[in-house]
Structure 1
């Protein structure tokens, strides 16, 4: 069973069909500074309850979980 989450239009434009987005794009979608998201990740291992995937030196954030956050769904 697959649950469909509607993407907010601004997030859909940022993601452009990708499953994961970079920290700077996540920051733009949530109206936060990139460094704020990195700080929360370093201190707690997640940001807004979302855990990123490490890829080399980058953190990639799952678009589906960001969409749930922006739509007001609780984890």
Structure 2
């Protein structure tokens, strides 16, 4: 009978022998790899606003002056960092 530690070592050896990639190193398909995102709080801080001001504008219009967030399953809003930087430079969203 193997203990949990022995099972983990055995599984690790099998991955090394067969050349399979460990599950922990594989990223989910939905994970953005090329983009970085800001929370609503970080977006508000970068603009010198309160987060509630951003949330209110988003609630009323569906965007914050053209910036559209991604809504996560836990209802948090994530804003694309590149779009925010472009907006802050005055180049539009």
Is TM-score (shorter-chain normalized) higher than 0.5? yes
Root-mean-square deviation over aligned CA pairs: 1.2
Matches of residues 7-46 of structure 1 in structure 2 within 5 Å? 19-46=36-63
How many residues were matched structurally?
58
* Structure 1 position 32, deviation (Å): 0.7
Q: Tell me, which stretches of 5 or more residues in structure 1 are unaligned?
A: 1-17
Structure with the largest fraction of strand: 1
- Counterpart check, 1:61 vs 2:79: yes
Q: Which has the larger radius of gyration?
A: 2
Q: 4+ residue runs of structure 1 moved beyond 6 angstroms?
A: none
* Structure 1 position 41, deviation (Å): 0.3
- Alpha-carbon distance in 1 for matches of 2:65, 2:58: 9
Q: Tell me, which stretches of 5 or more residues in structure 2 are unaligned?
A: 1-34
**Structure-2-length-normalised TM-score:** 0.59
